[in-house]
A and B are shown apart, each in its own frame.
Chain A
Amino acid sequence: MANGSNRPLSPHLQIYRLPLTALTSITHRITGVALSVGTVLLVWWLVAAASGPEYFAYVQDLLGSPLGLLALLGWTFALFYHLANGIRHLVWDAGYAFEVQKAELGGWVVIGAAAGLTIVSWVIGFSVR
């Protein structure tokens, strides 16, 4: 690519197709930042429980509304993704699974685990409530 100096360029993100390992890596960050915003929800819920029955019921209703449920669905997936991929990182930190094939496989396992755990917990959630 012409950058006037013949020096290598970093991938042009709009046309470069990210490999699965890069995609799972940036998703780990995105879900981490999203979960940080989501902790405000957790804090709000606990504060509501501490403030009394009326306010707690109000917050429970909001979380049970379609928009609240959508937010919680995203929250659940982000949590499970970050949890599963975090374990994948701990495996790497221990010095295992650096080979390209194993790293790719790990990425698919993480995506499958995040989706599967999200579906399972919502199915259980709706059947027990």
Chain B
Amino acid sequence: MSNTRTQAGLRTALGRVRGLGSAKSGTGHWWGLRVTSLALVPLTLWFVVSVITHLGADHAAMVAWLSSPVTAGLMVLTIGVTMHHMVNGLQEVIEDYIHTEWTKIATLLAVKFAGYFLAAVSIIAVLKIAFGR
């Protein structure tokens, strides 16, 4: 049944429905980068404006700013979405330029572990400030 070919080409009907392609993961990775990039447009603009308005601020001002739930929430989102976008983007670069299988997998794992470590550390830093008052 799964061998039934359509007139459109050599792909089977089941293959077309699953839409997974040669990478076996379909459009998930591609779509994920688009969704995160769209979310990062307002988050990045908020972040840049916030940094500019807090230039030269001392520690007390920084803590006061980050202890607002809205600020902390936006900061956690900015970090989380940025790191997700970063790991996915770096994966694309690595897969394009590194062709030795074990080097590619090792680099991918290192980038993913480092990216999510950075995300965890900075989110906890934000939460520590937010809950510390």
Residue positions of A touching B, CB distance < 8 A: 29, 32-33, 35-36, 39-40, 42-43, 46-47, 49-50, 52-53, 56-57, 60, 64, 76, 79, 83, 86-87, 89-90, 93, 121, 124-125, 128-129
Residues of A with C-beta under 8 A to B48:
76, 79, 121
Interface string of B98-133 (1 = CB under 8 A from A): 000000000000000001001001101110110000
By the criterion CB–CB under 8 Å, are B125 and A39 in contact? no
A57 / chain B contacts, CB cutoff of 8 Å: 58-59
In contact, B37 and A128 (Cβ under 8 angstroms): no
* 0/1 string, B66-101, CB within 8 A of A gives 1: 100000000100010011001001100100000000
Residues of B near A60 (CB, < 8 A) are: 56
In the complex, how many angstroms separate the beta carbon of B119 from the nearest chain A beta carbon? 8
Q: Does B13 contact A (CB under 8 A)?
A: no
Tell me what chain B mostly uses at the interface: helix, strand, loop, or mixed: helix
Given contacts A49-B125, A56-B62, A90-B38, could you give 18 more A-B pairs where the C-beta distance is less than 8 Å? A32-B86, A32-B90, A36-B90, A39-B82, A46-B75, A49-B66, A50-B124, A50-B125, A52-B59, A60-B56, A79-B48, A90-B34, A90-B37, A93-B34, A124-B52, A125-B52, A128-B52, A129-B56
- 9 CB < 8 A contacts A-B: A36-B86, A40-B118, A42-B122, A43-B122, A46-B126, A47-B125, A50-B125, A83-B41, A121-B48
Q: Which of A43, A79, A93 contacts B44 (CB 8 A)?
A: A79
B125 CB contacts on chain A under 8 angstroms? 43, 46-47, 49-50
Cβ of B133 to closest chain A Cβ, rounded Å: 12
Residues of chain A with a CB closer than 8 A to B59's CB: 49, 52-53, 56-57
Question: A35 to chain B: which residues have CB within 8 Å?
Answer: 86
Provided the pairs A33-B93, A47-B125, A124-B52 are in contact, do residues A53 and B58 lie with their beta carbons within 8 angstroms? yes
With CB as the reference atom, state the residue of chain A lying closest to B130.
A50
Tell me which residues across on chain A come within 8 A of B75, comparing CB atoms. Answer: 46
User: What is the minimal beta-carbon distance from B55 to any residue of chain A, in angstroms?
Assistant: 4
